[in-house]
Structure 1
């Protein structure tokens, strides 16, 4: 693990951060599952067998997956815009963000002396 002292390095991804396995599929999966849950709830609300009308479950699940993909894209756009604004601010005001030396926990924490 490399040390990052420069604040601009924290806001840039130069291929050193890999997304987790569930990262790209979590929101579409969760929203698709919620869509199927809505179909089950609608059937329950109309006092029909909860698994009747399988095409409705498939349709609501597909709509949920599409909504999850859309929400992922919107979140990524928002985070990219936020990082760009922060990066630009740091570039304009480098005096507010000095490069700090790394310290170990032993240097930061005070020594502990038990009181008995």
Structure 2
């Protein structure tokens, strides 16, 4: 049951990869929680009650969500551009990337016999 692997197929998503539920909201959520954590840390540093000035917590949380969304968007743009450059290079140099046949671990690894 070995299939042939084309290098260009590895860099394209033909609808076979579905993102998980948390993948689009993970970075904004994590940065929002980090923003609230920064507000708590600032209050702790100034020896105030950690949840005093709740507007500061809300503001830092909203700023964190915005920063997380921005960084997520920039990362997606970078990854898309990188994949496009790699795909273009493979298209221009097909001799450097021959089509290979897939192997299973059983075909690659040597048999192992325990010595007792």
SS at 1:51 equivalent? coil
Runs of 4 or more consecutive aligned structure 1 residues displaced over 6 Å after TM superposition: none
1:35 and 1:63 in contact (8 A); partners too: yes
Task: Name the structure, 1 or 2, with higher relative contact order (CA <8 Å, separation 6+).
Answer: 2
Unaligned runs of 5+ in 2: none
- In the aligned structure 2, how far is the partner of 1:115 from the partner of 1:47? 63
- Alignment length, in residue pairs? 114
Structure 1 length-normalised TM: 0.91
- Normalised by the length of structure 2, the TM-score is 0.91
Equivalent residue of 2:101, what SS?
A: coil
Task: Give me the whole-angstrom Cα distance separating, in 1, the residues matched to 2:22 and 2:8.
Answer: 27
Q: Structure 1 residue 19 and structure 2 residue 19: aligned?
A: yes
Aligned-CA RMSD value: 1.4
Q: Could you tell me how far 1:4 is from its partner in structure 2?
A: 6.1
Name the residue aligned to 1:45.
45
Structure 1: stretches of 5+ with no match in the other structure: none
- Deviations along 1:53-92, whole A, 9 cap, x unmatched? 1111001000000000001000000000100010000000
Q: Which residue of 2 aligns with 1:103?
A: 103
